[in-house]
Amino acid sequence: MKAPTYQWQPTTAEIAAAAGISPDQVERFDHNTSPFPTEWAPTAAGPSLSSLNEYPGADYRTLRIAAAELNGLEPEQIVPGAGADELILLCGRAFIDRGDNAVAATPTYPLYEISTLQAGGVFQSVPATSPDFAYPSDQMIRAARDADLVWVCTPSNPIGNVVTADTVEALIAATDGLVVVDAAYAEFSTGDWTERVETHHNLIVLRTLSKAFGLAGARVGYAMGHPDLIADLDGVRPPGSISSVSVALACAALGASTSMEKTVATTVAARNDLASGLQSVGLRVLTSETNFLLCEVGPNAHDIAQQLMGVGLVARKFPADGPLRDYLRFTVRTPEAHKRLIAELERCLG
């Protein structure tokens, strides 16, 4: 089976041109990125800019050490990647053989299926049901018994809910294969699964600096696991997929976690305010422990998204033949952006 292609929204420049507005008037409610500019980045990146004629050190030792120190692990338990996305693809290459079975609760991040199919595996979907899309724990545990790899996204993208610790433990116990926990949004929630890589040798936990740390443009993530699993991932990792500049930025960010924690607190407060605003215009807002909100809009969800796009407000819509066709997802942005969004939704919804 041919792997599906990941579908991106138009670029900011394209959206601005179509709407007849300046690019700085476009608000990306679709990317789940931070609204806070990285004004500190030039200082952090400065020393690395003088040696761009050379390749970065292929083992990324300084980045491994920085991530290990933040998480209380050893560098041998860390492998870096160009965002969590590259690590998801590397998990497929390292741990899925042709014909292997990988399972995930859906709807979920589409790259899990892409990674599985690119490696020649079989992707099994275990549907969560509307209207709340609660994690189908019992069905997933049954499916995990025959799985070679179990994908777990917690907090979930695109739903925003969490998989309980008991369920993750049960999944790890149920399978003889590997469990990959994608914890890209862990900083916005209560559990990050880090400590469990010390006790479970069939567990990999993925983290990213794209969300809470605000470095989506730098493309840096890392995986945590038993040293044997990390060595397997290293065996399929490109030698230089992370730039020297990105390494410098990542190490600076990982060493300043207090700043990240303040950003997260601000984001969570803004998420609550945005949820109230979305509810005030009649949308049903699902509970979220991330930096975004999934909302039930109704059968006109795609039309609403198109109207918003026409004025430079970019919501995340979903396939018209899928379970989220009546939903839109909104990333937490600034208070000013939220006011603009709510006002435009009031107009669209009549």
Give the pLDDT confidence of 221-266 residue by residue, as tens digits. Answer: 999 999 999 999 999 999 899 999 999 999 999 999 999 999 999 9
Selected from 3.40.50.720, 2.30.30.220, 3.90.1150.10, 3.40.50.300, the CATH number assigned to the domain covering 12-30+258-349 reads 3.90.1150.10
How far apart (Å, rounded) are the C-alpha atoms in residues 200 and 205? 11
Cβ partners under 8 Å of residue 107, min gap 6: 128, 133, 158, 159, 318, 322, 323, 324
Contact (CB, 8 A) for 291 and 5: no
Residue 193: predicted pLDDT: 79
Q: Which CATH architecture has domain 44-255?
A: 3-Layer(aba) Sandwich (3.40)
Residue 58: predicted pLDDT: 87
Residue 8: predicted pLDDT: 74
Residue 228: predicted pLDDT: 96
pLDDT, average across residues 95-121: 97
Residue 342: predicted pLDDT: 98
Tokens matching residue 177: 């294969």
Give the pLDDT confidence of 306-323 residue by residue, as tens digits. Answer: 999 999 999 999 999 999
Residue 195: predicted pLDDT: 84
Residue 10: predicted pLDDT: 86
- Does pLDDT of 191 surpass 80? no
Burial 307-325 (b: 16+ CB within 10 A, else e): bbbebbbbbbbbeeeeebe
- Does pLDDT of 7 surpass 90? no
Closest CA to 40 of 212, 253, 257, 208: 253
- Does pLDDT of 176 surpass 80? yes
Degrees (nearest 5) of the Cα angle 168, 164, 216?
A: 85
Give the pLDDT confidence of 135-173 residue by residue, as tens digits. Answer: 999 999 999 999 999 999 999 999 999 999 999 999 999
Give the residue, 194 or 327, on which the prediction is more confident. 327
Contact (CB, 8 A) for 194 and 205: yes
- Does pLDDT of 203 surpass 70? yes
Domain boundaries of the chain, sorted by first residue: 12-30+258-349, 44-255
Residue 190: predicted pLDDT: 83
Residue 1: predicted pLDDT: 58
Tokens matching residue 199: 């006790």
Residue 350: predicted pLDDT: 81
- HEC states along 252-281? HHHCCHHHHHHHHHHHHHHHHHHHHHHHHC
Residue 5: predicted pLDDT: 74
